[in-house]
């Protein structure tokens, strides 16, 4: 288990977040994004709540955040997970600590379903999400191209056991 402290994201964390995001992009198995977003694009793409960073000592070692899946009001309780961990500390529990706290935060914000779209080649991310109660709901074939190659994504989701349950 890691000794990472998970806390709310602060704007001054963004240079570290952007660097970790770029590391994920560079693996070729984290996102269709080709380069890390700048502050304005990153900030606008995410919900204002549930933005977290993991910190070991004075170093940000990972981040997690949620983005809306739709602007339609009926989907206000459904969000997409983004989670990235510095390559130097992967496998040390940072991702697990972040995802556990992100789930807790999402439920505090009345989000009943979390979803994640993960490349099938990203075994550690698939395992991490499964460990935290995400289930595979399908494979979306040929969702997009990277460098001329069509890529599939595994669609995983987690239903809250706290939020959105029928009353009585």
Residue 165 falls inside a structural domain: no
C-alpha separations of 43 from 11, 14, 17, 55, 157 in Å: 9, 10, 12, 20, 23
Q: 38 lies in a domain?
A: yes
Q: What's 21's domain CATH number?
A: 3.40.630.30
The predicted structure's pLDDT at residue 18: 97
pTM of the model: 0.93
Q: Does 164 reside within a domain?
A: no
| Tens of pLDDT, residues 62-121 | 999 999 999 898 888 999 999 999 999 999 999 999 999 999 999 999 999 999 999 999
Digit-coded pLDDT (tens) for 8-29: 999 999 999 999 999 999 988 8
- Residue 64's nearest CA partner among 95, 33, 29 is 95
Which residues fall within 8 angstroms of residue 112, CB to CB, at 6 or more apart? 77, 78, 159, 160, 163, 164
Print the domain residue range for 76. Answer: 5-159
Residue 10 belongs to some domain of the structure: yes
Query: How do residues 24-54 score in pLDDT, each as one tens digit?
Result: 999 888 888 888 999 999 999 999 999 999 9
pLDDT category of residue 1 using cuts at 50, 70 and 90: very low
Q: How many domains does the chain have?
A: 1
Is 152 inside any structural domain?
yes
> Is residue 167 assigned to a domain?
no
Residue 26 lies in a domain: yes
- pLDDT class for 167, splitting at 50, 70, 90? low
Residue 37 lies in a domain: yes
Are 49 and 109 in contact by the 8 Å Cβ rule? The answer is: yes
């Amino acid at each position: 288990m890691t000794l990472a402290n998970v806390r709310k994201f602060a704007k001054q964390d963004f240079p570290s977040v952007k660097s970790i995001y770029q590391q994920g992009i560079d693996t070729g198995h984290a996102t269709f994004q080709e380069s890390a977003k700048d502050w304005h694009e990153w900030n606008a793409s995410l919900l204002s709540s549930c933005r977290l960073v993991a910190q070991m000592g004075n170093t940000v070692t990972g981040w997690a955040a949620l983005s809306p899946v739709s602007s339609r009001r009926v989907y206000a309780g459904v969000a997409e997970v983004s989670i990235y961990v510095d390559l130097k500390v992967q496998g040390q529990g940072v991702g697990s600590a972040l995802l556990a706290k992100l789930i807790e935060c999402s439920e505090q914000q009345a989000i009943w379903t979390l979803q994640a779209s993960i490349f099938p080649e990203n075994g550690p991310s698939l395992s991490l999400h499964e460990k935290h109660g995400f289930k595979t709901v399908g494979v979306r074939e040929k969702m997009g191209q990277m460098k001329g190659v069509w890529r599939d994504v595994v669609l995983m989701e987690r239903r809250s056991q706290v939020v959105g349950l029928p009353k009585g």
